[in-house]
Structure 1
Amino acid sequence: MPLHPEIARILASFPHEEPGPLDPVAMRAGEESQVPAPDDRHPVAHVADRVVPTAAGDVPVRVYFADAQAEPDAAAGAIVYIHGGAYFLGGLNTHDHVARQLATATGLRVFSVGYRLAPEHPFPAAIDDVTGVVEWLLGSGHGAGWDGGVLALVGDSSGGTVATVVASALHDRGIDRVTHQVLYYPSVDLDLNPDRYPSMVENATGYGMETAGIAPFNQFYFDSGADPQDPRVSPIKRSDLSGLPPALILTGEFDPMRDEGELYGRRLQDAGVRTVVHRYEGAGHGFVQHFSWLPEYGAAFAETAAFLNDDAFLRGE
């Protein structure tokens, strides 16, 4: 099907800008300026900011819980949410709406991680911060509001990459408490040959994210020491994917990164990991973050909730 007409209309309204050097500070400020005022955001019963002590240092975390009938600190299943932004953009405020929708749809407590960004904080700072928050949850349990049941890592774009990398690192250490990984249009192969996947060619221009722009957006990460051949940077290069948590991978039809996400899903399946891969028709990269107000793409939150609550799937029934 063609690009969703509302997405096409919005993309056509954007002014054409000549490419130039990226300014992280200015771009972050621009993102923050678009964040709605608190009273205009999707309502969630309980929202609180806290600072989590980790081996990598203190990490800011925003906690969401949608059950208005429960005490704010009542134990529940947990989502650790990792925002996207090519490792140099995004934060607790810019992705606040995604975390709120996840909390409402799933009924779980959402821990959104304000991890450190490149280039100021070199690789693997983001991975270390998210790992530290998961370790804190594992160690704190009910004290952090986690009931010891569902512990899902959920991320969009580069946040999806961090999610699966953290799940892999914990598994390698013999820590298999993460129950699910949910990856929205993940960037799992930063070996940036534009011909490596058909979707990089088919969706090169005209769909919001353009293939030629992927390398410049990731350059801050590379300059900070991230090696595209390292499975912690390009998790599709990990040789053994067995034993990882069950996965839900959502891709967009018109996303240049579509094929790498879907290939990663097939590799997980081949390794015996229970995995669902769902391509959203008419969507480009970032549709969960930018276009979830459209019913077709807001369905991603309901699909995530169904996946996290499908005990039969986890049992292999």
Structure 2
Amino acid sequence: MPAAADLEPAIQRFVETTGKAYAKLTPPGPWSAPVARAVAEKVREPWRQGGPEMHEAREAEAPTRHGPVRLRLYRPNAGRLEGALVYLHGGGFTIFSLDTHDRVMRELAVRAGVAVIGVDYALAPEAKFPVALEQVVDTVRWLADDGGKVLDLEGVRLAIGGDSAGGNLSFGAAITLRDAGEGQLLSGIVTAYGGFGVIASDEITARYGGPGYILTREESLKFWENYLNDPSERQNPLVCPLRANLKGLPPVFLAIPRCDINSEQNFQMADALKAAGVPVEAEVYEGATHSFLEAMSISPVANRALDDMAHWVARTLAISPHVAT
């Protein structure tokens, strides 16, 4: 089979378009993290355009042990909200932002009928593990207490989720809160193409880590190098949730693109959650690769995944879901 011939045509277009944009905008020589971020913002900017309008979109700050962290609240309607999703963007702990994932968060807010709260956690390599994780944990605690009053979300049920590195941080936060006796603060975890281990196998890399797909093993390893202080931290269950005791976590939804080197980690996570007695739904999206949610403006499979994630959040938080049109 030719490279990437198993992708949905719209996803192929997304991969090709972003690849050409990166090639055009990338300066010669080694990239610094700030340059990589600036390029990524420009490449992703067209893909966040359009989509639903919010009743309210405003920014706030959550106090954390590492200083204030910027939040962006998306409120889809004027009525009282019963649930909120804390959303953590992907980008290998190194790139992307609230802006690159602006449309993803707006779509989830409208489709689920919940508030979505994006967290502008600190990026690597400037901020190493566990800074971003501790910022997320402190943000959840604040939202469940004073933050709920500040953002007019007092008493709402909270779920947490994210894509890629954001999925990793979601599990790390849920495990940390459970171990601190605060597991009740989160009612669910929803992730897309999360990174739950460190090294993709040779088999999955050979199949989905080549030209035509979004994420390579080399890129993934570089992201982990940026995030970790030392390779020994790969053994830490808060770095690699597949190594964690998963018992007692809230229900989980895993959105798994078939054509992604992270897919094997997601299948392993689904099995580990079941073995730990955690309610889990794992949905596989044929023809999809890493980052495919961002292609929702053209891709049927991306829209199906967003609907599935949103409806799961709505059910888990006992909200009547909205259906995208």
Gaps of 5+ in 2: 319-325
Amino acid at match of 2:31: L
TM-aligned CA deviation for residue 205 of structure 1: 0.7
From 100, 103, 110, give the equivalent of 1:97: 103
Amino acid at match of 2:169: V
Residue number in structure 1 paired with 2:321: none
TM-aligned CA deviation for residue 308 of structure 1: 1.9
From 223, 226, 229, give the equivalent of 1:220: 226
From 38, 55, 60, give the equivalent of 1:29: 38
Contact 1:122/1:225 (<8 A) preserved = no
SS in 1 for 2:235: coil
From 52, 66, 77, give the equivalent of 2:62: 52
Residue number in structure 1 paired with 2:307: 302
Q: 1:226 to 1:161 in 2, by over 3 A?
A: farther
Instruction: Give the distance between the partners of 1:75 and 1:310, measured in 2 at CA.
Output: 14
Amino acid at match of 1:204: G
Contact 1:250/1:277 (<8 A) preserved = yes
Residue number in structure 1 paired with 2:236: 230
From 253, 258, 261, give the equivalent of 1:248: 253
Is the aligned partner of 1:189 residue 2:197? yes
Paired residue total: 305
Calculate the TM-score normalised by the size of structure 1: 0.88
Instruction: Give the distance between the partners of 2:87 and 2:160, measured in 1 at CA.
Output: 6
Residue number in structure 1 paired with 2:284: 279
Residue number in structure 1 paired with 2:181: 174
Calculate the TM-score normalised by the size of structure 2: 0.86
Superimposed CA distance per residue, residues 167-189 of structure 1 (whole angstroms, 9 cap, x where no aligned partner)? 01000011122000001110000
Residue number in structure 2 paired with 1:152: 159
From 71, 86, 104, give the equivalent of 1:61: 71
Residue number in structure 2 paired with 1:6: 10
Gaps of 5+ in 1: none
Q: 1:52 to 1:200 in 2, by over 3 A?
A: same
TM-aligned CA deviation for residue 42 of structure 1: 3.6
Superimposed CA distance per residue, residues 131-159 of structure 1 (whole angstroms, 9 cap, x where no aligned partner)? 11101011123443324343110110000
TM-aligned CA deviation for residue 37 of structure 1: 11
Residue number in structure 2 paired with 1:133: 139
Amino acid at match of 1:77: G
Instruction: Give the distance between the partners of 1:248 and 1:271, measured in 2 at CA.
Output: 15
Instruction: Give the distance between the partners of 1:265 and 1:37, measured in 2 at CA.
Output: 30
TM-aligned CA deviation for residue 91 of structure 1: 1.1
Q: 1:312 to 1:99 in 2, by over 3 A?
A: closer
- With a CA cutoff of 8 Å and minimum separation of 6, indicate the structure with the bigger relative contact order: 2
Superimposed CA distance per residue, residues 277-301 of structure 1 (whole angstroms, 9 cap, x where no aligned partner)? 0110000111113446412211222
Contact 2:294/2:302 (<8 A) preserved = no
Q: Percent identity?
A: 30
Q: 1:193 to 1:297 in 2, by over 3 A?
A: closer
Q: Which runs of 4+ in 1 moved over 6 A?
A: none
Residue number in structure 2 paired with 1:111: 117
Q: 1:37 to 1:208 in 2, by over 3 A?
A: closer
Contact 1:250/1:278 (<8 A) preserved = yes
Q: CA RMSD in A?
A: 2.6
TM-aligned CA deviation for residue 12 of structure 1: 4.1
Instruction: Give the distance between the partners of 2:188 and 2:14, measured in 1 at CA.
Output: 34
SS in 1 for 2:304: helix
Amino acid at match of 1:155: G
